[in-house]
Amino acid sequence: MKIPDWKNKLTLNGRISNEFSGMTNTSRENFIKTINHQQPDKVVVDFGSTPVTGIHVLIVEKLRQHYGLEKMPVKVIEPYQMLGEIDSELIGAMEIDVLGLFSSKNMFGVPNENWKVHKTLWGQEVMFPANFNYTYNSNGDIMMYPEGDTSVPPSGIMPKTGYFFDALNRQEPIDESELKVEDNLEEFGLITEQDIAYWKEQISNLDNNSGGVVATFGGTALGDIALVPAINLKNPKGIRGIEEWYISTLIREDFVKEIYDKQTDIAIENLKLLHNVIGCKIDVVFTCGTDFGTQNSTFCSPDTYDRVWLPYYKKVNDWIHINTNWKTFKHSCGAVEPLLSHFIESGFDIINPVQINAAGMDARKLKKEYGDHLVFWGGGADTQGVFAFGTPQQVKDQVKLQCEILNKNGGFVFNTVHNIQANVPFKNVVAMLDTLKEL
């Protein structure tokens, strides 16, 4: 039997070898200009460098086909959202300027190694890590388990008609007298020698890279609602329900602040160890994915943000800025314009996804008021509006307009408003990419 060519590309540890020949020196030059608020020669483009600027695995497969690349199963590098790997071939074809480095384990706590082919509910062949074990419930939904351990209750579910996972509520009854800060710190320990060796390897693979580099270390997100349920823990204790967590920021403020204080102490110790290994070989660290906005307003008042979050974000960001060359990346969906000045005071350099369809998030206003201090990473196409429901021409017009507004004097990395979903019209994806090449 002839072995498919894509199997020959697997290294001994199961990862496809890293060759970033799709980028050029110009990619890096433009990226550095952009994040330092200088006018680049072209719009800098990112797809896939972070868990919030990715592309669903189904669209990744279609992109490979569109560009005439070899047909092979796409690796699911972030299974919670079912994000596909943007490999070196796609980096070149899509003219991407940014590379992302991720932790050794995915959000379910499964090591990203020894990849195996699986078939999704919608019939696509993809690659999951070997220990990505799941079952089906009586309804035909996929049940996913922390660390792939099927002997414990599942932590995630993908409905049979869905395209990604949802966290299952495993919140135990709250006993106020038994609440312990350490229970909500279980997943935030000091990194191991194995972790350090992993990051050394990742950095060694950057020798041929000429673009910008973003690293997602983990451990610095404060109250990220995607992480609170701890889908990677077999028996999470403490406050783990989404509703309970939001309530806790109001009625248990001191408890939450104590968690953040201890978590950021751990985070800084880990950053010290990582910086000893990585040095100046990365440009940006994905610091936090905590959402503060809804479609029409913020989750909390600026005063509450200043009390509960700002001191702890600032502690981490200050250490990074004093000791490294890294820029800090803050993700928050929604109508967060009232908090942008507070994000700046917290020490964040970059804001994503720039949700241009939310209240108060007009691109012209944002660029005028905050463009000297914040890099806008995203906002190039409205995934809830034109990108999902408009025509290719409408997509082209929006992409041109957003680039014209946000790319003036640098400070803009093109990406859509959050990840590209599975059911977006593919013709609109092509229209977006074609327009970027024209620009």
Ranges of each domain in the chain: 18-72+87-109+170-438
Reduce the DSSP state of residue 142 to 3 states and report it: strand
Position 208 scores a pLDDT of 59
- Give CA–CA dist 168/228, Å, rounded: 11
Q: What is the pLDDT of residue 24?
A: 67
Predicted local distance difference test score (pLDDT) of residue 209: 62
18-72+87-109+170-438 is a CATH 3.40.50.80 domain: no
SS3 364: helix
DSSP one-letter code for 420? B
**Which pLDDT score is estimated for 11?**
31
Residue-level pLDDT at 439:
87
Closest by CA position to 260, among listed 184, 194, 319, 157: 184
Measure the CA angle with vertex 385, ends 166 and 37; round to 5°.
90
Q: What is the pTM of this model?
A: 0.94
Burial class (CB in 10 A: 0-12, 13-18, 19+), 235: exposed
Note whether 121 and 165 are within 8 A (CB).
no
Cis peptide before 51 (omega within 30 of 0): no
Instruction: Classify residue 382 as exposed, middle or buried by CB count within 10 Å of its CB (0-12, 13-18, 19+).
Output: buried
DSSP symbol at 220: -
- Tell me the residue type at 80: Y
User: Nearest 5°: phi and psi at 280?
Assistant: -100, 20
Instruction: Please tell me the distance from the alpha carbon of residue 126 to that of residue 77, in angstroms, as a whole number.
Output: 10
Count of other CB atoms within 10 angstroms of residue 280: 9
pLDDT along the chain (439 residues), means of 10: 34 34 77 97 97 98 98 97 97 96 97 97 97 97 98 98 97 95 97 97 80 96 97 97 96 98 98 96 96 96 98 98 98 98 98 97 98 98 97 98 98 97 98 96
pLDDT on residue 245: 97
Q: What is the pLDDT of residue 286?
A: 98
- Phi-psi map region of 180: left, alpha, beta (phi>0 left; psi -120 to 50 alpha): beta
Among 88, 94, 95, 84, smallest CA distance to 61 is for 84
Residue partners of 34: CB distance under 8 A and separation at least 6:
40, 44, 375, 410, 411, 412, 413
